[in-house]
Amino acid sequence: MSYWPASSSTTPRYAGPVSFFRLPTLSDPSEADIALIGLPYDGGTTNRAGTRHGPREMRAMSMFIRPFHHVTKTSPYSTHRVADFGDCPMNPLDIGESLDLITDHFATFKVAGTRPLTAGGDHLITLPILRALATDGPVGLIQFDAHSDTNDTYFGDHKYTHGTHVRRGIEEGLIDSKRCVQIGIRGTRYAPDGNDFAENAGVTTLYIEDVYRLGIPGVIAEIRRVVGDAPTYLTFDVDGIDPAYTPGTGTPEVGGYSVFEAQQMVRGLKGLNLIGADVVEVAPPFDPSGNTALVGATMMFEILCCLAV
Amino acid sequence: MSYWPASSSTTPRYAGPVSFFRLPTLSDPSEADIALIGLPYDGGTTNRAGTRHGPREMRAMSMFIRPFHHVTKTSPYSTHRVADFGDCPMNPLDIGESLDLITDHFATFKVAGTRPLTAGGDHLITLPILRALATDGPVGLIQFDAHSDTNDTYFGDHKYTHGTHVRRGIEEGLIDSKRCVQIGIRGTRYAPDGNDFAENAGVTTLYIEDVYRLGIPGVIAEIRRVVGDAPTYLTFDVDGIDPAYTPGTGTPEVGGYSVFEAQQMVRGLKGLNLIGADVVEVAPPFDPSGNTALVGATMMFEILCCLAV
Amino acid sequence: MSYWPASSSTTPRYAGPVSFFRLPTLSDPSEADIALIGLPYDGGTTNRAGTRHGPREMRAMSMFIRPFHHVTKTSPYSTHRVADFGDCPMNPLDIGESLDLITDHFATFKVAGTRPLTAGGDHLITLPILRALATDGPVGLIQFDAHSDTNDTYFGDHKYTHGTHVRRGIEEGLIDSKRCVQIGIRGTRYAPDGNDFAENAGVTTLYIEDVYRLGIPGVIAEIRRVVGDAPTYLTFDVDGIDPAYTPGTGTPEVGGYSVFEAQQMVRGLKGLNLIGADVVEVAPPFDPSGNTALVGATMMFEILCCLAV
Amino acid sequence: MSYWPASSSTTPRYAGPVSFFRLPTLSDPSEADIALIGLPYDGGTTNRAGTRHGPREMRAMSMFIRPFHHVTKTSPYSTHRVADFGDCPMNPLDIGESLDLITDHFATFKVAGTRPLTAGGDHLITLPILRALATDGPVGLIQFDAHSDTNDTYFGDHKYTHGTHVRRGIEEGLIDSKRCVQIGIRGTRYAPDGNDFAENAGVTTLYIEDVYRLGIPGVIAEIRRVVGDAPTYLTFDVDGIDPAYTPGTGTPEVGGYSVFEAQQMVRGLKGLNLIGADVVEVAPPFDPSGNTALVGATMMFEILCCLAV
Amino acid sequence: MSYWPASSSTTPRYAGPVSFFRLPTLSDPSEADIALIGLPYDGGTTNRAGTRHGPREMRAMSMFIRPFHHVTKTSPYSTHRVADFGDCPMNPLDIGESLDLITDHFATFKVAGTRPLTAGGDHLITLPILRALATDGPVGLIQFDAHSDTNDTYFGDHKYTHGTHVRRGIEEGLIDSKRCVQIGIRGTRYAPDGNDFAENAGVTTLYIEDVYRLGIPGVIAEIRRVVGDAPTYLTFDVDGIDPAYTPGTGTPEVGGYSVFEAQQMVRGLKGLNLIGADVVEVAPPFDPSGNTALVGATMMFEILCCLAV
Amino acid sequence: MSYWPASSSTTPRYAGPVSFFRLPTLSDPSEADIALIGLPYDGGTTNRAGTRHGPREMRAMSMFIRPFHHVTKTSPYSTHRVADFGDCPMNPLDIGESLDLITDHFATFKVAGTRPLTAGGDHLITLPILRALATDGPVGLIQFDAHSDTNDTYFGDHKYTHGTHVRRGIEEGLIDSKRCVQIGIRGTRYAPDGNDFAENAGVTTLYIEDVYRLGIPGVIAEIRRVVGDAPTYLTFDVDGIDPAYTPGTGTPEVGGYSVFEAQQMVRGLKGLNLIGADVVEVAPPFDPSGNTALVGATMMFEILCCLAV
């Protein structure tokens, strides 16, 4: 049993149903090995919103993605059942309820043994996903991002935002901070000790300067060293990439890596014990050329190829 | 048996599957009374293309349309089975083959007694649709449009374009020219006798000046007089509307009617013997605000309410 | 004592500080008669967000507004102290807290006897403003809008949204439903009885069809009849206007009135007992030409001229 | 001898050389009766610039204009030699030199008896054109515009701007103020007596309210009454139209007439003694949909049809 | 005899006629050594169209290109007669006829010994150009591209598309596959053996990974090795470049080389035996910032400098 | 005494007053050590204008910049009083008067010993700033730019433009040409000897090819060698960066360095004797994604960190 994208030799890629990579849409988690899930929630955003429209545009732009990878010459669909499972329930008016709805939804995939690859939404969504997936103990975290997302609170004592979720994940025992690595961190910060929580917790921070100092193979080696062979989650914030490539994001941070470099890094993660992944922070209202959504969709495919081994 | 849009009190309108009016997507024509069909074909375009992306954007913008009409307080879904039947097959590289594919596809709806409401695509698509629907004799045609579309040929002797299809429909005996009325015609023309074919054939042309001279009730009366009670097809080219409302079209023509006036005219057609309809010439690449697609989707709903009586 | 816009004969309008109408920015409510306040909150939005950026863009576009009205040849600044009071505190992560912060902020203006003219933000903001202003008993409400905003709940039992605030205002005794009039209501609705609450409560609904049936003078007369001479609040949702003029809004509804018609209607309200007003639902991320923000700023000035009598 | 647009039945309208209406480009004024001239100068602009790009975009959009008018069924090319004469010399760094270069250039057309129809550029260009054309005494002026453009100075004592040129023209004896009529004036002004110069000089001001009070036929009658049969120049500022139609302009003013109304007014001017005309203030950088340039090009054609009688 | 761009010290670059590099426009091939030709045809496109507008926008953006190259300090206009020859005839409604029209047109340049540098249009246009130019035997091909364009058919058995033309060129004996090199190939493919035809035919494929492995000097050496000194055609598809630089293209493929790298590679080809070249796949409707057209125009100039030796 | 940005943990970054980095706005130069100044003047522009809107958009985008630099973990606000001093007076209609107004304004900062960091505006503004600052003798100049800006005249004998100001600065004895270094020069030029003035004067030109040959550390060393320890001014034209990052500029030149490379180069200048700096040529009307303004604001912060040592 396998699922394949609708043939573009019959139906042009701009025609036909819109789903991730033109794959079938299913609803029963047990019918797939890897589930592609949209999570159009941006209630954790502290500045420019709009990532609620991310899944729809990433699906639309994923029409450009054909089944086989040009480096490996293999397709994830050859070995794994991959399908689109539509959008996860959430409530745009209620953060707490949304967190619960998301966790409940992903728990059904966890139970079915189906690994999720999610399109956000803002970065807060990683937290409720981990609550569903990391029920067997803290997991490793590979985070491509411009921001550490380990702030404590925003706007008073509000603890659940797209800038605090990694801290929450560590505090809640979902993320093993010693097996957490962040790649591409840069930009101005609120305080001189802005990264103290992460450093004290043992998180490995690869600033953008470190990325260029180590080189891509060095970064890959460092990531693999940090997370090892134990269960690991991968979260890819498109703002880790330079905003020349991904302007359509809520908190752009100039001076990031290129998409090609991001592809190289992700491809270097094959064989790791990945329990799931997400691509977040694509904000179509700020993406006039559509390139951010295209990058998001392509990175989903690159990650899918890592999951499908 | 009835179909209803996905509830937006549960799933926000920007989430969930993208279909016309958030209705279910079906494939068997016999399971619906009215079929919503996308036809992403723009191979008949003589100037700016891009209407191939029309159905996808009209589906996306149709998220704004709720089930009940505010004037009639009724819903088409209460009395008729209405569903999205996906996109019609066509071939972007071959006009002749596309005409045949389209006619074959719509013939299955004709056989099933399911009336189609189609989202184009360029205006050429009306011709192959009529070839499928007008098999019992010429039908009346109500055409909202800035252009008469009764030219003979383009670029030599090419007969099948979005500027010649009405002439072809009359020549082929699909359209009863005496029961054909065009509303909103205007703009410059290629020759002083540019409308001679239509006039000689007995087509009723309501120039934009006539629209304002008659007033909306007068236009409605004139349309009803021309088409009478016999089977009639309705085609709505969004360029009949002023491009302040619908800039996203291939051949914009300034000086048209407003969307509200268009709504009033369409609402006045209730009770006619409509065998099908289409909304054409929405070209998203030229529609930066998305309003053209929103207008297209809303006019589809207005027409749906006329069909569902 | 009076405040005047920075002279554009010295400083070009694209230069210098950005404030409403280039007026001074103050912080003590007692120093003005009419306060211009930004309220960049869109947490009550149920579909496309982005009105959080409305105040900033309306301020920017208000550079085009000179001091004197061309019909009356008077300026509000001649008779009233008018100034920009910056943005109202709110919390993008917490609806309840935001409602309280807004009410507290506007209460200081109520106490000072300074009438607020607010730039939203989504339409929910009218509710906490009224909680601050309507402390002496229910007030009349003049609502320019495509939507009645009298739904009960969204997404379960969530009561505070930009589609329910008028109902809440009536239920809380802030709005005198008998003295409430809505102008421009149209578009599809969730249920056949979608407007029952308003009708049962005695709200006067002027559908868009009523607007054209009555004519602008008739609409003005009807508004004045409904609200009479008692204290009245005016709320102007830019989606009451046709989206050809105001595409940059969260819930566009085709088929509305023109900006000129809106100006005529607002000008007809001079002399009413207005205790405050707002212009809401300008969403810059969906406004590529900037015209929506310009319309919003201009309507603010028209309303200001009504307040300054 | 006549010139005709390149045939779009051979060459698609998006192909081939870009010139006004796809007409030939000439350089000797004596070879045409009516000269189409680009004047990409915006040095007189006091706020948002960009009309320097107006001629190029109006030429591009004029591809949509076919040779025959749908109301008269005649073509200006049947009776008059009409051609594109390229762009007028000017100097973007020097207002005074530009004024002279422009006057010198248009003087050659005056000498040749060739009437110019010019695409601006900002509105200041009307002044140097009139210096070339009104050498036989003051001429009448028909001005479609939101602004009176009779201010005295800007930024100190600077007298030559797009907001002062009409005053200069009257002062210099180029414009007969008694035969000057302005249509569509509106919007806020710098002073209560902002229009005193025009009124004292005997200019006929038709505010937008007057336009709707008189109705289009009344406006036409009034224009004809004011200018009579003597030589008259027509200047069409696209900001006279509502910015829903023409957002791409430097000083948008909401609440204007529609394009259809503008077309009706211009068509009503047939038979007047027109010595030349211009269409100004199209600013492509603020025109994301291109509709402003399309309106500009279409109004040029409508005016051309008035000149070609 | 030489032709030079219109002086921008007299006429600002945004003014005056629009032609490639502001050069004169000619029609007789014998009057130039190198012909710049627009080919606004996108009938071979299988996904997003719009490259029919490419030549017009590349001409507009070529205003930025001055005559002398900053590295060589020479100008192609010093040694070669270079002019704009307008747009090549084609028929947007008929692929077969277009192929013939294009070949016929370019044959006149071949006969005249004038080498063409063409602005597309979609990539299919390379095929009919080669049919005109490669009449003396198969030529070498240097192809900058993300895609190999060696698929066999699309949408059934349709053989002439922008994804199959290189295969056709090899099959027709126009391209010497042993002297064919493709630079920048990447992205997903339809089948694991998606590149088998090219490999079996002996085409040299430099994947994007190879480009970075070899380094730019290595790539140049490899290109020169493959094509040698025999007649060679150069085709530059802008989607070979990363879409951060060139989003305005029909089939964007993330992860490409930079424009600077492309410039370096093209500059390394000086002295090769180039019989002609093209720059294709610039699609302005998807290019909101205009950068894609600017890149296209600049690459045309870089290639022109290679031709002009 | 120090000034700090408004806290974004209280007020979201999209709310509150718009100033550079959300700092207080002051008017007395003596109250700060470093003055942030807007200079919305583009009267020296020879092609596409629009940089008059640069300061406003850079202020808006500077909301993204937090107080502490992630590499140094220090903030310029800790050691220096930094504030926004609003926009500098100028006259959009008069270059000469503008030059004087600018020099007079900056002279007050020179007198106060407050170093200015200016947001342009076009590049001409550097000249009048240097006239104010270089009163103690010629200063060194570090110029990041695609263009040398050492042309002599434009459009006849006009000497003051954004392409001639560096030559003027050298001629006037403001710039010590031996201590002048330009980084990133590239692109086509008007004449083979286009750079002769600079070379003859002893200016050090680092073409883009030199930048990549030397590497970033080498470039930094070369800059430091050229300017030494004496007083030096830094001018940063955003068109030095590749237009994939900064499309919103008047004279884009493909093939530049990345923003990250620009950041590295600027960071390498710490400890130099900088008397002031500017960031110029951000043209928002050509910047649909806003990234150019974000880059401009971020580079201002990087430069600020160099000034604040």
Give one DSSP letter per residue of D78-91, joined into a string: HHS-EEEEEEPP--
| Distance between F290 CA and the closest CA of chain D, angstroms | 14
What residues of chain B lie within 8 A of the CB of E45, using their CB?
Answer: 92
Which chain B residue shows the shortest CA-CA distance from A11?
B89
What is the pLDDT averaged over residues F199-226?
A: 97
Residue A78 within a domain: yes
Q: Does E173 touch chain B (CB under 8 A)?
A: no
pLDDT band at F309 (very low <50, low <70, confident <90, very high): confident
Q: Which of C155-159, C283-287, D132-136, E293-297 has the lowest mean pLDDT?
A: C155-159
Which H/E stretch holds residue F205? strand F204-207
Which chain F residue shows the shortest CA-CA distance from C290?
F285
What residues of chain A lie within 8 A of the CB of E207, using their CB?
Answer: 70-71
- Residue E201's pLDDT is 96
D49: tokens are 């610039």
What is the pLDDT averaged over residues D186-196?
A: 89
CATH for E64: 3.40.800.10
Of F267, F259, F283, F277, nearest to F117 by C-alpha is F277
pLDDT band at B192 (very low <50, low <70, confident <90, very high): confident
- DSSP for B86-112 reads EEPP--TT-HHHHHHHHHHHHHHHHHH
Token pair 């109902």 in the structure block, residue: C167
- Residue F84's pLDDT is 98
CB contact under 8 A, C65 and D207: no
- Residue C192's pLDDT is 86
pLDDT band at D139 (very low <50, low <70, confident <90, very high): very high
Which chain C residue shows the shortest CA-CA distance from F57?
C60
- Alpha-carbon dihedral sign for residues B20, B24, B29, B34: negative
What is the pLDDT averaged over residues E225-229?
A: 98
- Residue B195's pLDDT is 84
Residue A10 within a domain: no
E273 — alpha (psi -120 to 50), left (phi > 0) or beta?
Answer: beta
Which chain A residue shows the shortest CA-CA distance from C46?
A92
d(CA A140, CA B222): 72
Which amino acid, D150? Answer: T
What residues of chain E lie within 8 A of the CB of B48, using their CB?
Answer: 53, 285
Mutation for F interface: A150, A153, A254, most F CBs within 10 A:
A254
pLDDT value at F1 more than 80: no
pLDDT band at B211 (very low <50, low <70, confident <90, very high): very high
Residue F9 within a domain: no
d(CA A285, CA A49): 9
Token pair 């090899």 in the structure block, residue: E170
- Residue C190's pLDDT is 92
What residues of chain E lie within 8 A of the CB of D125, using their CB?
Answer: none
| φ/ψ of residue A244, rounded to 5 | -60, -30
B247: tokens are 């800039």
Could you tell me what percentage of chain C is helix, strand and coil, using 3-state DSSP and rounding each to the nearest 5? 40, 20, 45
Q: Does D47 touch chain C (CB under 8 A)?
A: yes
Q: Does A282 touch chain C (CB under 8 A)?
A: no
How many CB atoms are located within 10 Å of the residue B201 CB? 17
D248 — alpha (psi -120 to 50), left (phi > 0) or beta?
Answer: beta
- DSSP for A194-219 reads TTHHHHHHT-EEEEHHHHHHHHHHHH
User: Into how many domains does chain D fold?
Assistant: 1
What residues of chain A lie within 8 A of the CB of C51, using their CB?
Answer: none
What residues of chain C lie within 8 A of the CB of F15, using their CB?
Answer: 38, 40, 52, 55, 87, 90
Note the pLDDT tens digit of each residue in A20-46.
999 999 999 999 999 999 999 999 999
What residues of chain F lie within 8 A of the CB of D48, using their CB?
Answer: 53, 285
Higher pLDDT, B7 or A101: A101
% of chain D beyond a pLDDT of 70 = 100
| Total-model pTM | 0.98
- Residue B34's pLDDT is 98
- Residue C41's pLDDT is 98
d(CA D301, CA D69): 9
Q: Indicate the Cα dihedral angle E241, E244, E246, E251, nearest 10°.
A: 80
Rounded to the nearest 10 degrees, the angle between the axes of helix D95-112 and helix D126-133 is: 40
| φ/ψ of residue A44, rounded to 5 | -95, 10
pLDDT band at D297 (very low <50, low <70, confident <90, very high): very high
What residues of chain F lie within 8 A of the CB of D53, using their CB?
Answer: 48
Give the side-chain half-sphere CA count within 13 A for A109: 32
What is the pLDDT averaged over residues D60-86?
A: 96
Q: Does A285 touch chain F (CB under 8 A)?
A: no
What residues of chain C lie within 8 A of the CB of F25, using their CB?
Answer: 17
Note the pLDDT tens digit of each residue in E28-39.
999 999 999 999
- Nearest-Å Rg of the Cα atoms of chain D is 18
| Distance between E55 CA and the closest CA of chain B, angstroms | 14
- All residues at 6 or more sequence positions from C140 whose CB lies less than 8 Å from its CB, including other chains: C175, C176, C179, C180, C181, C226, C227, C228, C230, C231, C232, C233
Residue C285 within a domain: yes
- DSSP for chain E reads ----PPPTTTS-TTSS---GGG--B---GGG-SEEEEEE---TT-SS---GGGHHHHHHHHGGG--SB-TTT---HHHHS-EEEEEEPP--TT-HHHHHHHHHHHHHHHHHHTPEEEEEESSGGGHHHHHHHH-TTS-EEEEEE-SS------BTTTB--STTTHHHHHHHTTSEEEEEEEEEEE-S-BSSTTTTHHHHHHT-EEEEHHHHHHHHHHHHHHHHHHHHTTS-EEEEEEGGGB-TTT---SSS--SS-B-HHHHHHHHHTTTTS-EEEEEEE---GGG-TTSHHHHHHHHHHHHHHHHH--
Pairs of residues, one from chain D and one from chain E, whose beta carbons lie less than 8 Å apart: 47
Mutation for B interface: A8, A9, A10, A11, most B CBs within 10 A:
A11
pLDDT band at B8 (very low <50, low <70, confident <90, very high): confident
d(CA B110, CA C290): 46
B133 in Cβ contact with B103 (< 8 Å): no
Which H/E stretch holds residue C262? helix C259-267
pLDDT band at A195 (very low <50, low <70, confident <90, very high): confident
- Alpha-carbon dihedral sign for residues F148, F150, F155, F158: positive
Note the pLDDT tens digit of each residue in C75-106.
999 999 999 999 999 999 999 999 999 999 99
Q: Where does D80-183 have alpha helices with state H?
A: 95-112, 126-133, 165-171
Token pair 């100033």 in the structure block, residue: F19
What residues of chain E lie within 8 A of the CB of A291, using their CB?
Answer: 243-244, 247, 252, 254
Note the pLDDT tens digit of each residue in E165-176.
999 999 999 999
| φ/ψ of residue C34, rounded to 5 | -130, 130
Residue A12 within a domain: no
- Residue A9's pLDDT is 83
How many CB atoms are located within 10 Å of the residue B247 CB? 26
Q: Given A12, A40, A52, which is nearest B92 (Cβ)?
A: A12
Note the pLDDT tens digit of each residue in F264-301.
999 999 999 999 999 999 999 999 999 999 999 999 99
Mutation for F interface: D52, D56, D93, D165, most F CBs within 10 A:
D93
Which chain E residue shows the shortest CA-CA distance from A259?
E255
| φ/ψ of residue A54, rounded to 5 | -65, -50
Residues spanned by the domain of B103 = 20-307
Residue F14 within a domain: no
Q: Given A10, A13, A66, which is nearest E189 (Cβ)?
A: A66
d(CA B238, CA E23): 40
Q: Does E18 touch chain D (CB under 8 A)?
A: yes
B187: tokens are 């703009």
Q: Does C86 touch chain F (CB under 8 A)?
A: yes
Residue E10 within a domain: no
Residue C8 within a domain: no
- Residue A289's pLDDT is 97
Interface confidence, given as ipTM, is 0.96
Angle at E169 between CA E163 and CA E171, to 5 degrees: 105
F281 — alpha (psi -120 to 50), left (phi > 0) or beta?
Answer: left
DSSP single-letter state for residue F201: H
| Distance between C66 CA and the closest CA of chain D, angstroms | 5
